[in-house]
Amino acid sequence: MQTKLQTSQTKKGLSVIVPTLNEAGNIKRLLLRLNRPLKQANIPYEVIIVDDHSSDDTVKIAQDLSSQYPVKTQLKQGKRGKAYSLLEGFDHAKNDLVAMIDADLQYPPEEIATMYNLLEKTDADVVVTNRESHKTNPLRQLSTKVYNLLFARLLFGIGYDTQSGLKLFKKRILSNFEMTPSPWTFDLEFLVRALENRFKIVNLNVSFYERTSGVTKIKLLSATTEMVLASLRLRWNTSMYRLRDGHRSNNNFLKKAFPAAVIATVLSLSVLVAPRQVSALAAATNTSNNPTVYTTTIPSQPPNTHTVHSLLDYSWIGFGVGGGLIVLSAGLLTRDGYRTFMRRHGT
């Protein structure tokens, strides 16, 4: 379903959108850490908590704290999922600048004041944080790096940490494009549409910490599958020449990925085929030299079958990944070339 926010009249200030689900142990500390730097910098702000039907005391705690901090609590009205919570929060925002942050304190709330000043100093439209220092488990770090390389970088030529949950931007840009999010796929589409519409994006490096209270809501396998499929669908429906910063670097990256994929596929195929060819050649040679004598050679050391099987398994994986990249790169380059041709010829 496509969503396009209609931005009503806003006032100067900052609206911080916080999607929550069972974050009772983090809300108080989050609001405290938000308030200190924003108050010191004299930045007028509001916090909008969009709660996705928590079963703990998240809502009650947030409501009780409304006497100490400028916080409002909205009970989720639409479909479940973080992306839909964010969209509902944006719709309730009253200020001209909007920030989004997770409630789990893995992102440092103090950086929002820095992002606010950076946006005004650079005259940018969007500030995206880059998780430069990962203080989380290795699997989470690996999945983030692989996604940013294969999908953000390969498919779109975008060098930002697209899945970072800490962003700040001008609310008015939301009325310039439509989005079709799924529960976990807001971020990449938001940045792609912003670039398509010529909005300026800047980066800020931050640290990313382990959660200290509550449990994570993301199921890594299902969320990754959802994001991969959404990224491919988004790429197919995106005209790369409209991405101001991404078009040229994207095509160059694809052109480099294509021969690399071909080499990886050929090498993997060679490993898979070579043992069979050597065995067949040895058998043929033995038969032609002495057709009537059969000898059995007992090796001094038995072959490491585990190593052989592992090598073959990795070769199959390399063959599959390389072949997939060949098809993907060729298809996207062809599609981009066709769109560029049609654009230049005015059709």
Q: Which CATH number does the domain 11-238 belong to among 3.90.550.10, 3.40.50.10490, 3.40.50.300, 1.10.10.10?
A: 3.90.550.10
Query: pLDDT-derived band of residue 248, with 50, 70 and 90 as boundaries?
Result: very low
Query: pLDDT-derived band of residue 246, with 50, 70 and 90 as boundaries?
Result: very low
Kindly report, residue by residue over 16-57, the tens digit of the pLDDT: 999 999 999 999 999 999 999 999 999 999 999 999 999 999
pLDDT at 245 over 60: no
pLDDT at 130 over 80: yes
Query: pLDDT-derived band of residue 250, with 50, 70 and 90 as boundaries?
Result: very low
Kindly report, residue by residue over 107-129, the tens digit of the pLDDT: 999 999 999 999 999 999 999 99
Q: Where are the domains of the chain?
A: 11-238, 249-283+302-344
Three-state secondary structure string covering the chain: CCECCCCCCCEEEEEEEEEECCCCCCHHHHHHHHHHHHHHCCCCEEEEEEECCCCCCHHHHHHHHHHCCCEEEEECCCCCCHHHHHHHHHHHCCEEEEEECCCCCCCCCCHHHHHHHHHHHHCCCEEEEEEEEEECCHHHHHHHHHHHHHHHHHHHCCCCCCCCCCEEEEHHHHHHCCECCCCCCHHHHHHHHHHHCCCCEEEEEEEEECCCCCCCCCCHHHHHHHHHHHHHHHHHCCCHHHCCCCHHHHHHHHHHHHHHHHHHHHHHHHHHHHHHHHHHHHHHHHHHHCCCCCCCCCCCCCCCHHHHHHHHHHHHHHHHHHHHHHHHHHHHHHHHHHHHHHHHCCC
Query: pLDDT-derived band of residue 147, with 50, 70 and 90 as boundaries?
Result: confident
- Between 300 and 163, the higher pLDDT residue: 163
- pLDDT of 302 reads 53
